[in-house]
Amino acid sequence: MRGYLVLAAMLMAGPALAEPRPAPATVLLEPAAFRHRLDGEWRLNGHATDAPMAEVRIPAPVEIMVTPVSAGDYIACVAAGACALPGGPVDRADLPVTGVNWLDAMAYADWLSAVTGESWRLPSDAEWAQGAADLFRDDALGIADDPQNPAVRWLAEYEAEAARSRDRDREIRPVGSLNVSATGMRDIGGAVWEWTSTCLRRGEVDSTGAILRQDETCGIYIAEGRHRAALTLFERNPRTGGCSVGTPPDNLGFRLVREVPQGMLNRLSRWLTG
């Protein structure tokens, strides 16, 4: 029944909703070291602690979409038979697509790569953070851990979650209308969280913040937004469950990065070096 309702919404919205969209606007991200709060779950002496800060650098230039993928863009992939129906509304082409899981985002990236002849994929956590720039939210609690009194951290976590609930913006706005970062990336930290290609990281640090051990759990991926969330790749509606820590995201969408071809990299390098 739901499929018929969605199809009816597509028809009422008119042919433009299902037609291929113009090439996405992007901004270039170049490799440049920056301080970044690592993603994942970390422990100090067996107790939960803030993720360490690290100097990171993306490995190569990429172009990241200025805005999240819209419902209109995504429905073109559905109409082509390459993407599954989203769980969010499709009656407005200008809204970001929502109700999509990690696999849906990957399917869209594969389809867009096929129809454009370019290489599109989900951004890594570091790429997303570099694009978000000044609008990236560090969700560390910023308190000293007390192994003798774990209630100190529990209370801080409770207060942080309560503040997030009070400050939530649940209105899904048209793409491009929310905000803009220093790099030119828009719509950061609103009512839509965005999938990344980064697997959930679990690690251990010492008292100085140095990393002692870390591993990855792929199948659970990082979604970026008003705070980080770790979600199973099948999750479309995080408010009903899923593998997330703390306050779950309200909605799940995504944007993509385009890998810069080597020929363009060579021309860019010559231009930058004069």
Q: What is the CATH number of the domain that holds 88?
A: 3.90.1580
- What three-state secondary structure class fits 260? coil
Q: Is residue 13 part of a domain?
A: no
Q: Is residue 29 part of a domain?
A: yes
Q: Is residue 14 part of a domain?
A: no
Cross-sheet strand order for the sheet of 26-29: 26-29, 62-65, 257-259, 120-121
User: Is residue 131 predicted with pLDDT exceeding 50?
Assistant: yes
Instruction: Tell me the average pLDDT across 17-36.
Output: 83
Q: Please give the share of the chain, as a percent, with pLDDT higher than 90.
A: 62
Q: Is residue 129 part of a domain?
A: yes
| Parent domain of 209 | 23-273
Q: Is residue 245 part of a domain?
A: yes
What is the per-residue pLDDT across 39-82, written as a single tens digit (0 to 9) for each? Answer: 999 888 888 888 999 999 999 999 999 999 999 999 999 999 99
Q: Is residue 16 part of a domain?
A: no
Distance linking the first and last C-alpha atoms of the chain = 61
What is the per-residue pLDDT across 158-199, written as a single tens digit (0 to 9) for each? Answer: 455 555 555 666 789 999 999 999 999 999 999 999 999 999
Q: Is residue 2 part of a domain?
A: no
Instruction: Tell me the average pLDDT across 226-255.
Output: 83
Instruction: Tell me the average pLDDT across 213-224.
Output: 94
List CB contacts of 69: < 8 A, sequence separation 6 or more.
Answer: 24, 96, 97, 105, 108, 253, 254, 255, 256
Q: What is the pLDDT of residue 225?
A: 93
Q: Is residue 125 part of a domain?
A: yes
Name the phi and psi angles at 252, rounded to 5: -120, 125
Q: How many domains does the chain have?
A: 1
Exposure on the CB side of residue 100, measured as CA atoms within 13 A: 34
Q: What is the pTM of this model?
A: 0.83
CB 31 within 8 A of CB 55: no
Taking residue 17's Cβ as centre, other Cβ atoms within 10 Å add up to 23
Q: What is the pLDDT of residue 267?
A: 54
